[in-house]
Chain A
Amino acid sequence: MDVALLAEGTYPFHPGGVSVWCDQLVRGLAPHRFTIYSIIGGDDREPIWDLPENVTDVHSICLWDNAPSPKRPGSASASAEIQSAFAQLVTSLVEPEGGPAFFDALHQLFVLSQARPLNGALSTDASLEVLLDVMGVAGPADRSLGDDHRPVMISEARLALDLIEHQLRPLFVPPPEVDLCHATANGLSILPALGAFWARKTPLVLSEHGIYLRERYLSYDAATYTRAVRSIMLRFFKRLTWVGYQIADAIAPGSEYNRQWQEANGGASERIRPIYNGVDAANFITCPSEPDVPTLVWLGRIDPLKDVETLLLAFAKVRRSLPTARLRIFGSAADYNRDYLKLCEGLRDSLDLSQSATFEGRATSVVDAYHAGHIVLLTSISEGFPYTLIEAMAAGKPTVATDVGGVREAAGDAGLIVPPQRPDQIADACLVLLGDAELRRSIGRAARARILSMFTLEQSLAVFGDLYREVTGRISSAPVFERNRDGTREQLDIGTHLAPDGPLYAESELSPLVGS
């Protein structure tokens, strides 16, 4: 089977949990051939992962490359079509039931992009004017702005146009010619899958580790973006992720907890099937010895979602009780998080922890990194089913983790769970574990046993293998479907929709999905 694995900001150009998962997936499902579509910021890069032989190709889709110049749409009528589709797209963002119109506008843009390059073609004064009008009425959903709000400025519309135009670029790539699309996240990753869906009815499996929309809500914060920009962009992401849930044949959140987010944004519950990440336990041996000084270990991407600030504040409190304690932070920051790393280093220094808390970069051996401490910490404010946690558990380490996403499902009663953003409680949990060697050992044993019984790589891969067969089998027995309002699918007339010699993208190819 040929599979297009669609990723954003992860495999094979960046480290991190999702990249680990992708690597495990393509290696573990080796009979299948994978083509990677990787959406990246703007840098031309070389893959940092060794790609297995069953990865047949890697397409990097740069969101922010310096496109030479806006491409001319070709003719006045083509330009009018592009403007019309874009106007429909942004107008649908403020319509109460705008989901179908949004979906239809994406379809129009996709069809237009297959005839001519659209990168940059949406950046016009006309687009800006439409966006200004729309943003003028796009306040908070169902919430009064009050009377004294200021009008939307051109700079805000300009920023929103820039963001939307660049975020749409993955829609304009030639659609993958594969048997199955597997998106590793909702949001931008589903855009190439949409193309494949319209062009060939290619089925889609949608995995979500963290919840894409939830993380957009957290990253588009009021300290960085104005109300007008946040309102329009978050509406855009809400619509886009809704579309992802509508077209996916199977939705696989990384945890049961995250299922509720998908349902809250239009995911049909019968198509949602949580699939936990798994660990190759053979790679995570236990180690009976511990460091000489009380040591905490944290491993992950340096990213605001991982809340390294709370980690440092908690460690500062631990140091007040245990002055010899150390904190070893393993992980690197992506280019766009360099400022966050500096902020964290500044906080560490201001807490007088520069000698005891060290940023050690990406770990050369994650197992050794886990064993470098007495306890492994996870302080995230948003998670799917974190590798840091299950790997540390597999290595027999006691853990203290924040109660977000699938953490509770992963840890069960084999780890300490604390609320997020509560440094005092995190510190207290650490002090309890650091002060009781027997408790550490018993939790470590229970943690490893839990992983071996519930979260192995083999189990995870087997479920995905079955899901691939199930989804493609379902499709192959009835090649072309349209989904009805109630979520059922009905067969369409192949002749009118995928005529080999006819137009590839008939306007009536897909009725808009109903209900947002």
Chain B
Amino acid sequence: MATHKGKRAVDPKPTPDAVGLLHWVVSDPRLAEVCAAAVDPLEVAARLETFGLSSRVAEDMFGYRDVFSAAHAVYTSVPFEDTEPPPPQPEPMGRPLDLLRGALYAIPAVFFTVVVNGFGVPTRWWVLLVGLTVAWGISQAVAVVGWALRGRGDERSDSLLACTSILVTAAVCLGVALAVRSTLGGTEACVFLAVALGAYIAASGVLLFHGAEWLLGFSLVPAIVGSILGQGVISHRAAAWCVVASAGLVLVAALRPLASRRWHLPSLRSVDWQRAAKFFVYGIGCGLLTSVVVGFGTRGTGTGDAMVIAVMPLLLTLGLMEWHLRSFRSRATAALSTTSDLRAFARRVHGAMFRSVGTYAAALAIVSVVALIVGHERHAAMAPLLLGTVDALGICFFLALLLASSGQINRVLVSWGATFAVLGATLAITWAERGHVTATAGIAALLLAATVAIVTLAGLSRRVLSSPLSY
């Protein structure tokens, strides 16, 4: 063929076969689906290539200049069709098992008096303080490290972590108890009791971390049976031995990962140590506040039994606390994936928070009333103030837990600082005025400090937890 100027005409480029191309695309449902969901022509080009449509093939088969022009044709011809992945699941709601976990953690407080009475240990007020505070702090730190390692897929460090947790707790309790005894007095039995208490709490913490509630419950059966029978069927001493047997079982159960001989030294980063240190201080704060109430409460009521009754509402509702923490987080994370407006999200979170804290506070009040009735004969003068303080501590702990579980441990520590500052100042003023601090004044000071903590934590929670970045 010649042109009118006498030159040979260049064969025109073939018209792209758009129909053929689209037919080829839809012939493979997988390709059709990804092309329909594409958000950019280049994405279609990438997909076409993975199904064999290179630039060469695009030209040879369909007359397109390259894969990009073919992709553009597909992109503009195929209607957009959204393919949604499964929606993210909100965190699970609280379960009745959470109640059990709390009860398993708290019930041994009852056994403490069984042991003291059964063996006739001349206990001192600082025994509970040392065992509880040290174990609470170390358990928190170990749990944080444990979860960090699990987050990195390291479960091989469990043996070492369990063993270390229990041994370190026992060792620290021993050191602190010896130091306290030399200052405040007490017997060797007191030191032994503090160490045993700390080791037990650490061991039960290990079991709960591993999700071995059933094992912990099973281990506590002798203590539960012994404590019940100790009310008249068997001697107090026999009941105390049942508790000792349970404590031994818990220790053995907690150390059972050692049998696997899977020793592995965890690789910890500086950030892990920092977080562990913060949670250690957080746990120490919780333990100290509880110990303060126990210390003054024991002095006020005069008997360990009465004090246990007073602390029971807090201990028995630890599980409820965990339940409502989970439920709150579940509602908040559900709001994240169903809300498109930040203010609406904040409103929903505030509602969920009010619901959780309110429910917990109501339950705590009910249990407290029951405790008040049960303990009425023994410590009527003290109970309302004591129980009020314990309830305030419970709410305070719950708010702290809400913040800590949302990565706001620094704010919790600041609140703890304010709380102890108020407590210390109040006690110091009382001491300066009267030359001593009565149990009632001590409890009242704690109530004031706990109220300050509640106000601080509630304000922070309301502000911080309404941010989607807290989840």
Interface set of A (CB-CB < 8 Å, partner B): 42-44, 65-69, 123-125, 128-129, 132, 139-146, 149, 151-155, 157-158, 213-214, 217-218, 221-227, 230-231, 234-235, 238, 257, 260, 264-265, 335, 381-382, 402-404, 408, 419-422
Contacts and interface: CB of A to CB of B under 8 A. Distances in A.
Contacts of B85: 222-226
Nearest to B466: A125
A260 B55 contact: yes
Contacts of B267: 44
Given A158-B469, A264-B68, A419-B51, A144 B42 contact: no
Given A123-B469, A132-B342, A141 B50 contact: no
B82 interface: yes
Nearest to B153: A335
A149 B82 CA distance: 8
Interface stretch (B4-12, B332-340, B371-379, B393-401): B332-340
Contacts of B39: 139-141, 143, 227, 230-231, 234
A214 B80 CA distance: 20
Contact of A125 (B33, B79, B272, B468): B468
Contacts of B79: 144, 146
A66 B337 contact: no
Given A125-B467, A125-B468, A153-B337, 13 more contacts: A44-B267, A141-B39, A142-B41, A144-B79, A154-B336, A154-B340, A214-B42, A230-B39, A235-B40, A264-B45, A264-B68, A265-B42, A402-B52
Contact of A257 (B38, B40, B46, B54): B54
Main secondary structure of the interface of A (DSSP, over half): loop
A153 B340 contact: yes
Given A69-B410, A128-B468, A152 B84 contact: no
Contact of B338 (A153, A260, A403): A153
B253 interface: no
Contacts of A151: 340
B337 A155 contact: yes
Interface string B25-69: 000000001100111111101110111101111000000001110
A234 B40 contact: yes
Interface size class of B (residues with CB under 8 A): 35 or more
A132 B469 CA distance: 13
Interface of B: 33-34, 37-43, 45-47, 49-52, 54-57, 66-68, 75-76, 79-80, 82-85, 88, 148, 152-153, 267, 269, 271-272, 274-275, 333, 335-342, 345, 410, 467-469, 471
Nearest to B90: A155
B264 to A, nearest CB: 15
Contacts of A217: 40, 42-43, 46-47
Which 10 residue pairs of A and B lie closest in terms of their CB atoms, listed nearest first? A419-B52, A381-B50, A222-B83, A217-B46, A140-B39, A151-B340, A155-B337, A222-B37, A155-B336, A217-B43
Contacts of B345: 154
A405 B128 CA distance: 70
Nearest to A263: B68
Given A125-B469, A155-B337, A223-B85, A140 B80 contact: yes
Contact of A214 (B49, B82, B333, B342): B49
A382 B49 contact: yes
25 contacts: A66-B148, A68-B274, A128-B469, A142-B76, A143-B76, A144-B79, A154-B336, A154-B468, A214-B46, A218-B46, A218-B47, A218-B50, A222-B34, A222-B83, A222-B84, A224-B85, A238-B40, A257-B54, A264-B45, A382-B46, A403-B52, A408-B54, A408-B56, A420-B51, A421-B50
A407 to B, nearest CB: 10
A423 to B, nearest CB: 12
A223 B85 CA distance: 5
A152 B340 contact: yes
Nearest to A305: B50
A215 B84 CA distance: 20
B52 A421 contact: yes
Nearest to B274: A68
